[in-house]
């Protein structure tokens, strides 16, 4: 890939799948903090509200990672839920 393409990719706006991929990557590598989970999931949820029924594959990816998240990191998941209840 030419160098100019690398720079272009640095400044492109991330989409919902990019955010889900980042969440998945942090989750799998066990580097996901409570605050990162809260921020990323908040952003993903905002995106999903905008998509409403436009791309089912995005919802399927989201549902899959959320199932793993709830089972493997229940304390972090509860932190996110508790903070959503506050707002």
Convert the pLDDT of each residue in 40-81 to its tens digit: 999 999 999 887 767 788 999 999 999 999 999 999 999 999
Query: Does residue 36 lie in a domain region?
Result: yes
> In the structure encoding, which two tokens stand for residue 87, read together?
């707002």
Residues ≥6 apart with Cβ < 8 Å to 40: 19, 22, 23, 26
Tell which residue, 41, 32, 43, has the closest CA to residue 72.
Answer: 32
3-state secondary structure of 13: coil
Domain count, the chain: 1
Q: Check residues 3 and 54 and name the one with the higher pLDDT.
A: 54
**Domain encompassing residue 46:** 16-86
Angle at 68 between CA 64 and CA 69, to 5 degrees: 110
- C-alpha to C-alpha distance for 61 and 17, rounded to whole angstroms: 8
**pLDDT category, 20, cuts 50, 70, 90?**
very high
Query: Does residue 10 lie in a domain region?
Result: no
Query: Does residue 34 lie in a domain region?
Result: yes
Query: Does residue 46 lie in a domain region?
Result: yes
Query: Does residue 49 lie in a domain region?
Result: yes
């Amino acid at each position: 890939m030419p160098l100019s393409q690398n720079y272009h990719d640095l400044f492109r706006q991330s989409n919902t799948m990019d955010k889900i991929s980042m969440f998945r990557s942090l989750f799998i590598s066990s580097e996901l903090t409570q605050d990162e989970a809260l921020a990323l999931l908040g952003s993903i949820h905002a995106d999903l509200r905008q998509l409403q029924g436009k791309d089912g594959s995005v919802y399927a990816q989201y549902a899959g990672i959320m199932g793993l998240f709830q089972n493997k990191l229940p304390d972090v998941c509860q932190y996110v839920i508790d903070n959503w209840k506050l707002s």
